[in-house]
Structures are given as C-alpha cells and as structure tokens.
Amino acid sequence: MAALRTIEEVASESDLLLRSKPGVWRYNEESPHIEAFVYDLATDSDDGVGTVDGYRIAQDWTVSSDLHLWNEADAMDGDVVRYVEALIRELRACEVVFDFAPSLASIQRTTLVRHVEVTGKIPTAELMRSAVACVAMIDAPTIMLVDPWPMAEERRSPQGKLHGRTNIPRLLELGFTRMVGSRFLWAWNSELDESLMEGYAYEKLVAAKRNGSLDGILNAPIADEIYGILPAGVAQIVDVPEPDDLTDE
C-alpha cells in the first residue's frame, strides 16, 4: 500500500505557513491542464524558512490519453515532462503486473513536487516532509509525485546524493513509495488505494523489473509514441527526455 497517510497530523505539527506567489492560480491557455506553483514557506517565528515548487495537473475530461498530457508537459518545460513520463511509465508497469491500473489521463488531480529549498534553520529532510504534507493538504491530490533529489548537477554530487537519500525515509513515513522506473517517489489517496490500486505491491514490481517483464515499458522512449522512432541524434536536437534521465541519481 502507498496511500498518503498522517498528512494532516504532520502538516499541523509543522506550523508551516504557505504563501503563494502572484499568479500561482492564473489560467494559461497554452497549458490548460498543467500549472506551475511556488510557495514561500514561513513559520510564526520565522518569515522565511524556504520555498516549495512544483506542478499541478487537473483533468477536465478533455484529455483523451496520457500522451496528450506528455505533449503538453513537453511544451511547458524539461522538468515537468520528466515527472509526467515517470508517472506514465509507472502506471503502465502497474497495469502489466497487476492486470489493472488507472492511466494518468483518468486521474482527476495530480500534484508534482519539484523542489524544496531551505533558507532557514530547519533541516532539509524535515522541511521537505512538512512542506509536502502541507501541499497535500491544500491540493488533496489523487496521485502525488515528489522529487527528493537536489536540482541539476548538485544531485549527482556526493553531497547531493546524501541529501536525497536523507529525504527519502522521511517521505516514506508519509506513505510514499519508491518508483521502479525512476528515482522519484509517489503515493495516492485512500479512494484509489481501495479501488484501482488495491492490489499494488512494490515487491512484485521490482521482481517484474528484474526478470525483464517491464523492459519495453521502462526503456522505450515515450517520445517515439509522439514523434515516431527518431534517427540517432535527433532526440537530442528536439530535447526529448531519455529513460536514463529518470533513473540517474
């Protein structure tokens, strides 16, 4: 089970205040189903302890397939398309292993937490745990993905890897689980846990990955489903994400 739990308790105990940036709720015709968000983080005793940012995906039932969302994310920026691709792969893997799973296009509310930046004295792992819980309380997402790793090249440094590995256990406490197809974490609400994701077991996904049953899903570029199979080098020219971008720490 990977249902979100203890969210309300953690958010309440954190005493965090989330202050939205101007335009955070503004509708964008170029990206009608995906919007970016940024919140300043504060407490009663400290006006600036950090920031949390990410993306929201909202289904208005005009999305015909998960490729529709991938295409919209790809047009938006390189980070969100990697998160959308990771969720598409993971849900497809679940469908193979457990015979039935939702598609990303059928999920009403999806929240993607991209980064938590610490500017105060609260330890990174503690602030990330609290910020993620607060965002979950605000959004009440059906599915939530969190990127626990530092941004850009920092995540590949020894210090960056240690920071990411420190963040993961605190997020697992909230009900998140690892993804077999990427370096991110994900979870879902109790309603989905009791219906389409009732048979989920991370160990079965890992076993299927090890025996090669998921190779086609986890290794084939989703961009090929949009653009067709591209000649060597063209993928880099059009800047589509490669599977390794999802799994590298």
User: Residue 160, CB half-sphere, CA atoms under 13 Å: how many?
Assistant: 14
Q: Looking at the domain assignment, is residue 18 inside a domain?
A: yes
State residue 53's pLDDT score. 95
CA dihedral 75, 60, 90, 239 (to 10 degrees): 0
Q: Looking at the domain assignment, is residue 1 inside a domain?
A: no
Higher pLDDT, 162 or 1: 162
Q: Looking at the domain assignment, is residue 57 inside a domain?
A: yes
State residue 34's pLDDT score. 94
Q: What is the pTM of this model?
A: 0.88
Picking from 93, 94, 77, 95, the residue whose alpha carbon sits closest to that of residue 36 is: 77
State residue 235's pLDDT score. 56
Q: Give CA–CA dist 101/98, Å, rounded.
A: 7
Q: Looking at the domain assignment, is residue 195 inside a domain?
A: yes
Provide Rg for the chain, Cα atoms. 18
What are the angstrom distances between the C-alpha of 106 and each of 28, 63, 96?
A: 21, 8, 17
Write out the residue range of the structural domain in which residue 74 sits: 7-247
Most confident of 71-75, 192-196, 239-243: 71-75
Q: What is the mean pLDDT of residues 4-19?
A: 88
Q: Looking at the domain assignment, is residue 160 inside a domain?
A: yes
Q: Looking at the domain assignment, is residue 187 inside a domain?
A: yes
Q: Looking at the domain assignment, is residue 2 inside a domain?
A: no
- Give the chain as a DSSP string: --B--SHHHHHHHHT-EEEEPTTTT---TTSSSEEEEEEEEE-SS-S-SEEEEEEEEE--S---SHHHHHHHHHHH-HHHHHHHHHHHHHHHHHHHHHS----GGG-SEEEEEEEEEE-SSS-HHHHHHHHHHHHHHHH--SEEEE--SPSGGGGGSHHHHHHHHHHHHHHHTTT-EE-TTSS-EEEE-HHHHTTTTTT--HHHHHHHHHTTTTHHHHHS-THHHHH-SPPTTHHHHTTPPPHHHHH--
Higher pLDDT, 1 or 117: 117
Distance of CA 60 to the CA centre of its chain: 20
**Lowest-pLDDT choice from 1-10, 100-109, 118-127:** 1-10
Strands 17-20 and 109-118: unpaired
**Lowest-pLDDT choice from 4-13, 27-36, 109-118:** 27-36
User: Residue 74, CB half-sphere, CA atoms under 13 Å: how many?
Assistant: 18
Picking from 41, 35, 36, 38, the residue whose alpha carbon sits closest to that of residue 15 is: 41
Q: Is the pLDDT of residue 3 over 50?
A: yes
Q: Looking at the domain assignment, is residue 63 inside a domain?
A: yes
Q: Which residue has the tokens 């990977």?
A: 2
What are the angstrom distances between the C-alpha of 162 and each of 113, 156, 172?
A: 19, 10, 16
- What's the pLDDT tens digit per position in 204-243? 999 999 999 999 999 888 888 887 766 666 655 555 555 4
* Domains: count for the chain: 1
- What's the pLDDT tens digit per position in 113-147? 999 999 988 899 999 999 999 999 999 999 999 99
